[in-house]
A and B are shown apart, each in its own frame.
Chain A
């Protein structure tokens, strides 16, 4: 079982941004197109330490693209992206986003984790190896510490004893929980979820959502793209409703769901009405 220690993350010493003003994550005026299609039209989101932000919206609203821009899987044409004091991309005089050096980007990757819709576990690695590989290879941490952390994360995910299984032997919900453990093992400051339960049936969805709920209770900073409205309402501090590449409405979870101000938000929520 888990020891009485608070939580296994928060190991790295430079966790806290030094100046109070810095947001943990800030996306400012992000613009992004695929060819002629403008997917993100001037999106700004700021996330503070301990906050849980849910991003909702219909398919094609740009919410996944936004997440992929924040996690450096896509580059945007214009705007600013920063993790605390670390500026990843900033506009030049012409309003074109210029990305920081490779070293800075690499460093930035230690600050966030991403959980994919399709898990994307490494199928040829065991569960334990999936979790320990990056901390060992990329962060060059001590094997003992990393394995101990991986074990405690697996405990927390309700997956103790599955260390030596390979992903194909696990259910989708279990795989997704391994993926969450894998992301947490790098001690990220913020964890992104890209529709983490969209590939799962309701039963397995519940397992995964419960894990995310636990993380929220521990004040893990998270940005969650989701279609699970009641989950978003329960877990998120703030909900951002996106449609057509813009933020239509943004507010505290309770108020946005119970009392949306915009017609489009109302229409969207009524489709998902429960």
Chain B
């Protein structure tokens, strides 16, 4: 049983890592779109964020999985289950991260932009070397929250029968007519999150060398 759950855990871990890898940068782009002075872009991004936050992730997983077939008549193979899971997770989490980035970016005082501007920094230089590092420090607690939620949310991909840990636990529980697999999976999730929290705490400590 542990071996099977372990295999499932690897898949959960893959979903977790690929989601962060995709949604953290995408979220920043979405935040830029949200703050853009180009009105249509900003409005489109606001609608996107509102849909992503306003509908269940489980439903989004279903839509992303079935849309190619029912929407466009494209045949979907078995391998698409995993791809669809990653796509749904990335676009969902990007929306949440975007709002976190936005709150952080907007909390940086104007004076920082002005100081950099007077020193001759370009807009990109100002953002990436002056503003963004300070944003990261400010948003870290909120990001940690999301990342911990993500660990648990990976279990939602059972609706697409992706063989991650929760799907596996469900199958074992059904076959053995026992709750043990669920309990073990619960411990896996808990330990995983403890590690995540510990790691994020280290990062926070590392940025503790200054305050504003």
Contacts and interface: CB of A to CB of B under 8 A. Distances in A.
Interface string B114-127: 11111111000100
Given A123-B210, A124-B134, A134 B111 contact: no
Contacts of B121: 134, 137-138
Contacts, number: 59
Interface in A121-153: 121-124, 133-134, 137-139
A124 B120 contact: no
B137 A124 contact: yes
Interface residues of A, number: 26
Contacts of A72: 117-118
B114 A120 contact: yes
A247 to B, nearest CB: 24
A116 B120 contact: no
A62 interface: no
A186 B117 CA distance: 13
Interface string A58-80: 00000000000001110000000
Contacts of B212: 123, 168
Contacts of B68: none
A116 B119 contact: no
- List 9 A-B pairs, minimum CB-CB distance, nearest first: A120-B115, A134-B119, A120-B111, A138-B120, A166-B210, A109-B120, A114-B118, A123-B212, A124-B133
Interface of B: 109, 111-112, 114-121, 125, 129-130, 133-134, 137, 209-212
Interface of A: 71-73, 106, 109-110, 112-114, 116, 118, 120-124, 133-134, 137-139, 166-168, 182, 186
9 contacts: A73-B118, A118-B111, A120-B111, A123-B212, A137-B121, A137-B129, A138-B119, A166-B209, A166-B210
